Chains A and B, each alone.
Chain A
């Protein structure tokens, strides 16, 4: 149990081992561990960034969906409005056309009535002349007695 030159030898052994162990084992192993730690940290950061991007994309998609829904609602409302307008226009147009048709019919009817009245009047006049001739016994001059016949027919029509 004495201090001797073994101490010097142990200094050499220990310091040599310290330097070589640092160079041969500690530094390469530590570098590998740090590289792995960095890779894992990068991976975790990338995963976090991915999750963040996904959340952002989800939020964007939800916003776009909401926007699209709002636009669709607007389009539907505009379409409904337009449809109502078209319907109203069509109804209006149909109404106008119907009124036109009715008016034309009325006019045509009036004309027919006039024509019928005229024809009737002429027939009645003829009949009246014929009857008067039979009653009077002589031929009436249609041109000569037209005024008289027309006034009688007129009176008859008015009385009817």
Chain B
């Protein structure tokens, strides 16, 4: 396990990592060949929580008037179904479960930010772990994995539902299409020469989708955690001696109030980011399902 020594905010932004190249010196290790144990543990815990709850609820589902947990989950499923139905031109049985999974998983992962900023780090230290990041959406790997899954599905449906149109779109838009339709051979040649430029532009456009999707979530949650750490570092005292003075007490109270306010706001941001990720997932897949206009 790689345990780099850092202090302050930078120290709390370290992951609990395990390298699969333990036999190599730290400087020579491939940075890809490591895993963030904290991210895997928390995301796995959230996944098990969701699946355990689903398993528990599955045996209690009734067709009559729903109550309690079923009522709450039905409201959520109904909301997701409505969102998908409003945006989707055709029926695809995987889209609504995907949107539900994205929303619930991201929201619950974001919810871990409600825990005090340094708490899990200190608990992990006491068990010998070098660091611990409680919010898995703060780790770029999770948003990127989800965004790439969505991107792969978008590409799959584009190729499956309208392969010719997609290839034409990829190679001939925005410049070459009109030029190739010309009867003038020189203009037509110009159109052919512009194909690589079109391809480059289209690839940038397509790759921007998963990049924006993942970095938006990661950036918001990472910034939120940094602000928590800043509030804690600047306004909260490290020890009882610091709290004993008047200034220390005032600073402590202000730190608690500001931290509480930011907690509420950050929970709202977490909910909003989960919704944005879900709605963009639905929209990107909806675009891939749109019928070709002639």
Contact = CB atoms under 8 A, between A and B. Distances in A.
B77 A3 contact: no
A15 interface: yes
A28 B44 CA distance: 23
A22 B97 contact: yes
Top 4 A-B residue pairs of the complex, sorted by shortest distance between their CB atoms: A10-B145, A25-B54, A22-B97, A6-B141
Contacts of B43: 10, 13
Interface of A: 1-7, 9-11, 13-18, 20-22, 24-30, 32-33, 35-36, 39
A29 B70 contact: yes
B35 A13 contact: no
Interface in B178-215: none
Interface residues of B, number: 49
Interface in B56-85: 57-58, 61-64, 66, 70, 73-74, 77-78, 81
B20 interface: yes
A9 B97 contact: no
22 contacts: A1-B140, A2-B32, A5-B35, A6-B34, A6-B142, A7-B145, A10-B39, A10-B146, A11-B149, A13-B43, A13-B145, A18-B98, A18-B149, A25-B57, A25-B58, A26-B96, A28-B61, A29-B57, A30-B77, A33-B78, A36-B64, A39-B63
Contacts of B234: none
Contacts of B73: 25, 29
Contacts of A35: 63
Contacts, number: 119
Contacts of B70: 29
A28 B51 contact: no
Given A9-B35, A24-B55, A30-B96, 19 more contacts: A2-B31, A3-B141, A4-B17, A6-B35, A7-B144, A7-B145, A13-B43, A13-B47, A15-B149, A20-B54, A21-B54, A21-B100, A22-B97, A24-B58, A26-B97, A29-B57, A29-B74, A30-B81, A33-B77
Contacts of B40: 6, 9-10, 13
A148 B70 CA distance: 144
A15 to B, nearest CB: 7
Interface in B118-172: 136, 139-142, 144-146, 148-149
Contacts of B50: 17, 21
A5 to B, nearest CB: 5
B94 interface: yes
Contacts of B290: none
B244 interface: no
A32 B61 contact: yes
Given A9-B40, A14-B145, A21-B54, A4 B31 contact: yes
